[in-house]
Amino acid sequence: MKIDPDRELVEACQATTPTGLEGSFRTLYDQFKDRVYNVCYRITANPSDALDASQETFGIMFRKIRDFRFESKFSSWVYRIAVNASIDHKRRSSTRALTSLEANTDSTRDEVSKYDVRDERIEMPIAAASRHELEAEIQSAIARLSPKMRAITVLRYVENLSYEEISESLQISLGTVKSRLSRAHEALDRELTPVIDKHYLR
């Protein structure tokens, strides 16, 4: 296995007892907070749920960090915790509609835009509005996938993990990764083809 880029920092955390977000723990938190929140948000499709799942992820991560033995990449372990926390939180919040994103369009778009590195100042207002609408509809389509397909879609296309990294993160075979992604593609194609046609044929 290649040297884990997070190993030195993780070992520094393992050598101390956390008394709050300070020192190595603060550095590790800062390094992963955006990635963890992004995964949690994309899976839960709700900013409040994403924050709860993120807090749960870091709680588990810091409580169990001394047990981590580098049998996988540390980032893969973190992704696994975040995915499981998000799915568990979604199940506990099953009374909420999966389309809650649409009911909170303004606040949700603000959350999405935090991770959008494109500079909207160079876009015409109509183009920017159309793009935001399309992004919201894509997120809604992802939110309607099953939790397992949603997780694998987020890791592949939002976090840009390879098939091997997804396999390691979720502890599933490469064949299962490919099978779930294939089913996710088919579901998203059915949902998004008319949406994309609508936006590009205006």
Q: What's the pLDDT score for residue 187?
A: 87
| Structural domain contains residue 50 | yes
Contact in structure between 24 and 13 (CB atoms under 8 Å): yes
Distance CA 36, CA 57 (A): 8
| Structural domain contains residue 158 | yes
| Structural domain contains residue 161 | yes
Handedness of CA 62, 63, 64, 67 (dihedral sign): positive
Q: What's the pLDDT score for residue 53?
A: 93
| Structural domain contains residue 2 | no
Total number of residues shown for the chain:
202
Q: Within the chain, which residues score under 50 in pLDDT?
A: 97-103, 105-130, 200-202
| Structural domain contains residue 130 | yes
Domain CATH number, residue 96: 1.10.10.10
Distance CA 121, CA 71 (A): 45
| Structural domain contains residue 83 | yes
Q: What's the pLDDT score for residue 201?
A: 47
Domain that residue 68 falls in: 7-198
Q: Number of folded domains in the chain?
A: 1
Q: What's the pLDDT score for residue 2?
A: 67
| Structural domain contains residue 1 | no
Distance CA 169, CA 39 (A): 13
Residues 185-196: pLDDT tens digits? 888 888 777 655
